[in-house]
Amino acid sequence: MKHIYHFIAFVALAAMPFTASAMESSVADPELEAPEMEAPSEWTFTDDREGLDNELAEISIAVSGSQLRITNATGQTLEIYNLTGVRVATLRIDSDDKTFNVNLPKGCYMVKVGKVVRKVSFK
């Protein structure tokens, strides 16, 4: 399969109309040349993962049969997607400990609450 993609890419590139004069003129044009860039003398990194980890750790998603329990997500929106990526439900979470009776066919789904995403299975 990998070889087929390489062959298709090769054929697509081979079919493109390139001429030597067009390539020479683009290289000779000073406006098209990449500007020289200097590397920074000192790199500075900031680590903002701690705040994100705390936010993600607080929200809890639990499934029992066809019930979905969400905790610590008051004011957030719950979105449920099937495995093809189609959103099948959107619900508003109005309390700190909310349980939803999900009326969806049995199977696997992706549940998103804020920035937290989990794969779940309804039975």
> What would the pLDDT profile of 25-64 be if each residue is shown by its tens digit?
445 555 656 666 665 566 555 555 555 545 555 899 999 9
* Residue 104 contacts residue 91 (beta carbons within 8 Å): no
pLDDT at 72: 93
For the chain, give the number of residues. Answer: 123
Residue pointed to by tokens 């989990």: 118
- What's the CA angle centered on 69, arms 66 and 72, to 5 degrees? 165
pTM score above 0.85 = no
Name the band, by pLDDT with cuts 50, 70 and 90, for residue 101: very high
Alpha-carbon gap, residue 57 to 77, rounded angstroms: 17
H helix or E strand, kind and range, residue 117: strand 116-122
Mean pLDDT, the chain, whole residue set: 75
pLDDT at 58: 85
Alpha carbon of 43 to those of 36, 38, 47, 50, 69: distances in Å?
19, 13, 13, 21, 44
The CA R_g of the chain, rounded to the nearest whole Å, is: 26
pLDDT at 11: 47
- Which residues on neighbouring strands pair with residue 91, listed in sequence order? 78
Domains annotated for the chain, with CATH where assigned, are 2-29 (no CATH), 57-122 (2.60.40.3080)
